[in-house]
Amino acid sequence: MRRVLLAATLLVMGTAAAGAAGKNPRDANIDVSYLIPEPVTQTGQIAAWLRRLAGRYRVEGAVSMPARGTFEPLRGNGDCAVVGTGAGMHCIFDIAWQDIFDISLGGSDAGVFNLPGGVAWLSPAMMLIGLDPGKQGLSFLVVDHKGLPEAGSGSIAGDRATLRAGCVNAPNLFLSMRPSATYEGRRPDTCERITRIDARAGSSLVNMVIDIEINGDRATTVDVTLRRVSPDDAAGLQPLRRRR
Amino acid sequence: MALVQTAVAWLLLPGAATLAAAPAPTAPADELDELGEVIVSGERATRKVEDLIPWIRRLLGDYTIEGYVHLGGKNEAEDRRMVRGSGLCVGFGLAPGVQCEIHVNWRIPEGAQGPGTLAGVSYLTPAMILYGVEPDDVGIRYLQVDNRGMAEGTNGLVVGNTASFTVACVDVPEGCQRVTRITAPPDSKHIDMRIDTNVDGQLALRYHFQFTRVAEVQAPGPAASGSKR
């Protein structure tokens, strides 16, 4: 009788374990569903997304260069306003960090060299974004602290806009980098700046990540959190010139 | 042989193209009208970034805007609209970059029809324009976003005092091209802006704005940023 009871108990436990197998996170066969953000291609929806950016912001974040292990905090402010009553967005940024250089004290490479994104190019900078209905996306232009422009196009999926542009003045950047610097096993050849802006409806936070890719390899990431400030707090921000 | 060499040298002279483009005195009046749109100049586009900086600095200022719009692109009196407006162009950064906000308005035609700007409606109430000195293509890059949020921009070349930009119309599906010419002479308080919209090679719409500077806007000093990239 005892043997029968023990067998029955083991059978029940075994059945229960089998039923729970699908919930075991260590189970290699677990069902995983991935959420793919839906592309936003309708002009009205793109416009609605752009309007989420409007506001004044305090900015915090960091510049990191993973290959070098460099991490530099950044601070500043931003001000984004719609153009008229439409969907265009105009932003003024004043975001600064301690400039990062590649310093070599000895050997044949001795000297001070530039790094992609090492200099605080957003202090100040302006960004203008508008609709490109032909491409069902965005056109944008960023003019940096030197007055140099980077233009490109972008798209929106879910709450995220992805903007791509070739780095302005890239040949000069390459020439001013350490001669022995290599990316993907070769000298710097191409440079692309990819900006991802996450803006959820009704959120007080906007996240902006700017990756600088040399030869397709991520060299620098500028991770920026924009925290919306109330009009009272905005009074304490540095004045940003604009006529509305 | 000497005659051929003389002919080639004559063609290569900067002024030769101008002479060659001059209409023959016996050409009919219609052909003269066609040639009226062609501007042939011996001047070359500015190919040095340092020469572009003085030009872009000339855009700075607080402006009143006057001029006219030719709806339909023809010089018909009933299609001509006087425009009024204002603009403010501020500089930032070293070169500098220039950001302009303009408000330009005119009387909208009754029963306005047509795609985008071809309807004759002003979408410049306001419009934001951002300019920067492009070191890679050696020109001036701009992006204009109008009051609908439509963005149009490209890189343009500067020849003499005039920057020219040619871009596909963003609001007209096909065959439409917009040519913008901005003339900013040194030491002048006037800036001339002409925007021609061509559809299938035919002029369909012309804006002619004259900006008059009513107040200076301080250019940012070079001390604003001394760091290098």
Which residues on neighbouring strands pair with residue A224, listed in sequence order?
A61, A208
pLDDT of A232 above 70: no
Nearest to A114 among B125, B133, B228 (CB): B228
Residues of B in contact with A149 (CB under 8 A): 97, 130-134, 141-142
- Three-state DSSP at A194 gives strand
Give a yes or no: residue A243 inside a domain: no
Give a yes or no: residue A240 inside a domain: no
Give a yes or no: residue A60 inside a domain: yes
The total number of structural domains that make up chain A: 2
pLDDT at B16: 36
pLDDT at B71: 87
Question: A21 or A118: whose pLDDT is higher?
Answer: A118
Give a yes or no: residue A141 inside a domain: yes
Q: What is the mean pLDDT of chain A?
A: 88
Q: Is B136's CB within 8 Å of A149's CB? A: no
Question: A231 or A85: whose pLDDT is higher?
Answer: A85
pLDDT of A239 above 60: no
Quickly list DSSP for A10-36: HHHHHHHHHHHGGG-TT-TT------P
The CATH code belonging to domain B49-221 is 2.40.128.20
- Strand spans (E) along A133-216: 137-143, 149-157, 160-166, 191-199, 205-214
Mean pLDDT for the stretch of residues A49-71:
95
Question: Which structural domain range is residue A10 located in?
Answer: 1-33
Mean pLDDT for the stretch of residues A208-215:
97
User: How far lies B220's CA from each of A42, A120, A226, B20, B223, in Å?
Assistant: 40, 17, 26, 45, 8
Which tens digit of pLDDT belongs to each residue from A140-169?
999 999 999 999 999 999 999 999 999 999
Say if residue A118 is in the same domain as residue A223: yes
Which tens digit of pLDDT belongs to each residue from B145-190?
999 999 999 999 999 999 999 999 998 878 999 999 999 999 999 9
Burial of B171 from C-beta contacts in 10 A (0-12 / 13-18 / 19+)? buried
A45 confidence band (pLDDT: 50, 70, 90): very high
For chain B, what are the domain ranges?
A: 2-35, 49-221
Total CB pairs under 8 A between chain A and B = 164
Residues of A in contact with B132 (CB under 8 A): 141, 143, 147-149
Say if residue A121 is in the same domain as residue A9: no
Please state the ipTM of this predicted complex: 0.82
d(CA B73, CA A74): 51
List the structure tokens of B192. 């001339």
Do A153 and A128 contact (CB within 8 A), yes or no?
A: no
Q: Which of A166, A168, A93, A85 is nearest to A127 (CA)?
A: A93
Instruction: Give pLDDT < 70 ranges for chain B.
Output: 1-41, 112, 221-229
Say if residue A18 is in the same domain as residue A106: no
Give a yes or no: residue A125 inside a domain: yes
pLDDT at B1: 42
d(CA A220, CA A100): 11
